């Protein structure tokens, strides 16, 4: 009887689960999470508003003028009509109505909110962009080249070059120049010493590895984590001249540690996986392995943390504005509209509530969207 069975070598598959691409599955999972979908929709609406805002409020003669002062119309509540008798023709709001009221200088809050949307969005995206780029770069290096040691002579080279540059900046030109040349000379020496087997230039201990690359980067992360982050941002922003770019850069440069940590963790585990060994066995270059084979797998958690990071950056900007270190006056941001409004909280509550609720909704959407993305990208949940 067994023979009759074995005669049939044809492999007959029963009906299996319909094949779906990973993206389709992820999208289905994402759709399941209704809050996340709401988050995405509002995020898109916010994005469109911000783009519309920058178009409609900039230029010589903007459609909505956010900086037009009408002192006779100050602190008008939302939906109030302008007093046409006291206003000149160009001062009448574009919609013929103060949709969200006016502030203490009679500026149209609706126009200011439109302009602020773009600024808040830029601050969030640029700051997180910087953090993510630094984070991926350092995390990838630590994770992929982590085990490579840094030798004593390399440290020495680096210290010589660095101190040379520092002294040069401190205007000790001769000493700086001397150290810098010594550093370059050292570097050439150690390069040669590595090539030549019997090296006469250097004692052997200089080639011993002092610590690994991974240690170096992770200690940098530890050092950065020692600073209380809001306090650090506040200090630097307060010491630097007030500008929107400084704020973006400072927020970005103080929030890359999380990304670094998990890109590294992800890379460490990916390195051990067979498809990376296979890629190496095929003789692919490190660059190609990192960016073509490993990065797509590590990108999911980075995306999630970036989404949530944008939310945090918008909140941080608002906090800085509140303390008077936010984006300086020519720009309106939701943060500084809100903090300007706090003086009139009992007389003109809309000046607090309009930007406050707007920030709340946008940040909430980013968080919900990020959380939904996390679930959708989680391979454990994708099964079944």
Partner 1 sequence: MAFQKPLLRTEDLKVYFYGRDKISRAVDGVSYHIHAGETVCLVGESGCGKTVSALAALGLIPSPPGKIVGGRILFKGTDILSLDEDAMQKIRGNQISMVFQEPLTSLNPVFTIGDQIGEAIRTHETISQDALDKRCVQLLRDMGIPSPEQRLHDYPHQLSGGQRQRVMIAMALACNPDLMIADEPTTALDVTVQAQILNLLKSVQEKASMAVLYITHDLGVVSGIADRVYVMYAGLIVEEGNTRQVFGNAVHPYTMGLLASLPDRKKRGKRLHNIPGTVPNPAYKPDGCPFHPRCSHAVESCKTVEPEMIPLEEGHRCRCPVLAKKP
Partner 2 sequence: MFSFIGRSIVQKTITLFFVSVVSFLIIHLAPGEPSQIDPMNPKFTPEMVERFRTQFHLDKPLYVQYVYFYRDLFTGKIVSWKDNQSVLAKIWERFLNSLPLFIVGTLLTWTLSFPVGIRSAIYRGGVYDRSATFFSYLLISIPGFFFAYILIILVVTAFHVPVIGMETYGMGNAPWPNLFMDRIWHLLIPSALGATAGIAVLSRYVRSQMLEVEGQDYVRTAKAKGLPPDQVHYKHALRNALLPFVTMFGLILPGLIGGSVIIESIFSWPGMGRMAYEAILARDYPIILTVNFLSAVLVLAGTFLSDLLYLVVDPRIRL
Q: Are 355 and 334 in contact (CB under 8 A)?
A: yes
Q: Is residue 19 at the binding interface for partner 1, with CB under 8 A as the rule?
A: no
Q: Is residue 368 at the binding interface for partner 2, with CB under 8 A as the rule?
A: yes
* CA gap 297, 293 in Å, rounded: 7
**Angle at the Cα of 98 (from 92 to 103), degrees rounded to 5?**
100
Query: Of the two residues 35 and 265, which places its CB atom closer to partner 2 in the complex?
Result: 35
Q: Are 233 and 127 in contact (CB under 8 A)?
A: no
Q: Is residue 384 at the binding interface for partner 1, with CB under 8 A as the rule?
A: yes
Tell the residue number behind the tokens 């903090």, with chain if given.
339
Q: Are 153 and 206 in contact (CB under 8 A)?
A: yes
Query: Of the two residues 140 and 335, which places its CB atom closer to partner 2 in the complex?
Result: 335
Q: Is residue 10 at the binding interface for partner 1, with CB under 8 A as the rule?
A: yes
By the 10 Å C-beta count (0-12 exposed, 13-18 middle, 19+ buried), 100 is classed as buried
Q: Is residue 241 at the binding interface for partner 1, with CB under 8 A as the rule?
A: no
* CA gap 315, 339 in Å, rounded: 12
Q: Is residue 203 at the binding interface for partner 1, with CB under 8 A as the rule?
A: no
* CA gap 280, 282 in Å, rounded: 5
322 binds, among partner 2, partner 1, none (CB under 5 to 8 A by kind): partner 2
Residues 31-90 touching partner 1, rule: CB under 8 A, are: 32
Q: Is residue 32 at the binding interface for partner 2, with CB under 8 A as the rule?
A: no
Q: Is residue 21 at the binding interface for partner 1, with CB under 8 A as the rule?
A: no
Q: Is residue 2 at the binding interface for partner 1, with CB under 8 A as the rule?
A: yes
Residue 230: enclosing H or E segment and its boundaries? Answer: helix 229-239
Query: Of the two residues 96 and 379, which places its CB atom closer to partner 2 in the complex?
Result: 379
Please identify, among the stretches 119-127, 175-183, 217-225, 278-286, the one whose residues bind partner 2 according to the rule CB under 8 A. Answer: 217-225
CB of 346 to partner 2, least distance (A): 8
Q: Indicate the DSSP class of residue 147.
A: T
Query: Of the two residues 25 and 212, which places its CB atom closer to partner 1 in the complex?
Result: 25
* CA gap 346, 332 in Å, rounded: 22
CB of 356 to partner 2, least distance (A): 4
In sequence order, what DSSP letters do the residues of 298-340 get, joined into one string? HHHHHHHHHHHHHHHHHHHHHHHHHTT-SS-TTS--HHHHHHH
Query: Of the two residues 13 and 85, which places its CB atom closer to partner 1 in the complex?
Result: 13
- Count CB neighbours of 384 within 10 A: 5
Residues 167-206 touching partner 2, rule: CB under 8 A, are: 170
Q: Is residue 379 at the binding interface for partner 2, with CB under 8 A as the rule?
A: no
Q: Are 84 and 92 in contact (CB under 8 A)?
A: yes
By the 10 Å C-beta count (0-12 exposed, 13-18 middle, 19+ buried), 278 is classed as exposed
Q: Is residue 352 at the binding interface for partner 2, with CB under 8 A as the rule?
A: yes
CB of 243 to partner 2, least distance (A): 12
Q: Is residue 315 at the binding interface for partner 2, with CB under 8 A as the rule?
A: yes
Q: Is residue 7 at the binding interface for partner 1, with CB under 8 A as the rule?
A: yes
What is the binding site for partner 1 (CB under 8 A)?
A: 1-2, 4-17, 28, 32, 384
Binding site for partner 2 (CB under 8 A): 35, 170, 219, 222-223, 225-228, 230-232, 234-236, 238-241, 311, 315, 318-319, 322-323, 335, 338-339, 342, 345, 352, 356, 359-360, 363-364, 366-368, 371
């Amino acid at each position: 009887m067994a023979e009759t069975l074995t005669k049939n070598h044809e492999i007959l598959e029963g009906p299996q689960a319909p094949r779906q691409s990973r993206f389709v599955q992820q999208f289905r999972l994402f759709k399941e999470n209704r809050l996340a979908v709401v988050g995405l929709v509002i995020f898109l609406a916010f994005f469109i508003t911000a783009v519309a805002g920058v178009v409609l409020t900039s230029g010589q003669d903007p459609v909505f003028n956010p900086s037009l002062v009408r002192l006779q119309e100050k602190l008008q509540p939302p939906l109030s009509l302008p007093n046409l008798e006291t206003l000149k023709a160009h001062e009448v709001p574009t919609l013929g109505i103060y949709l969200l009221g006016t502030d203490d200088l009679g500026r149209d809050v609706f126009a200011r909110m439109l302009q602020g949307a773009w600024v808040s969005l830029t601050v969030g995206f640029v700051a997180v962009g910087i953090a993510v780029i630094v984070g991926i770069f350092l995390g990838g290096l630590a994770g992929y080249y982590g085990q490579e040691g840094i030798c004593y002579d390399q440290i020495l080279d680096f210290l010589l070059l660095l101190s040379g540059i520092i002294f040069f900046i401190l205007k000790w030109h001769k000493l700086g120049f001397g150290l810098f040349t010594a550093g370059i000379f050292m570097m050439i020496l150690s390069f040669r010493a590595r090539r030549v087997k019997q090296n006469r230039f250097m004692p052997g201990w200089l080639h011993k590895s002092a610590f690994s690359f991974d240690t170096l980067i992770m200690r940098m992360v530890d050092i950065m984590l020692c600073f209380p982050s809001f306090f650090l941002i506040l200090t630097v922003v307060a010491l630097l001249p007030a500008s929107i770019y400084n704020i973006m850069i400072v927020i970005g440069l103080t929030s890359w540690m999380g990304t670094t940590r998990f890109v590294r963790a992800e890379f460490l585990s990916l390195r051990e996986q067979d498809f990376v060994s296979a890629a190496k066995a095929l003789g692919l270059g490190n660059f190609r392995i990192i960016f073509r084979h490993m990065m797509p797998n590590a990108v999911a958690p980075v995306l999630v943390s970036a989404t949530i990071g944008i939310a945090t950056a918008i909140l941080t900007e608002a906090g800085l504005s509140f303390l008077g270190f936010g984006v300086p006056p020519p720009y309106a941001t939701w943060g500084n509209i809100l903090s300007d409004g706090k003086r009139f909280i009992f007389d003109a509550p809309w000046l607090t509530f309009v930007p406050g609720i707007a920030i709340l909704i946008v940040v909430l959407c980013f968080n919900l969207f990020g959380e939904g993305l996390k679930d959708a990208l989680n391979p454990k949940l994708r099964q079944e």
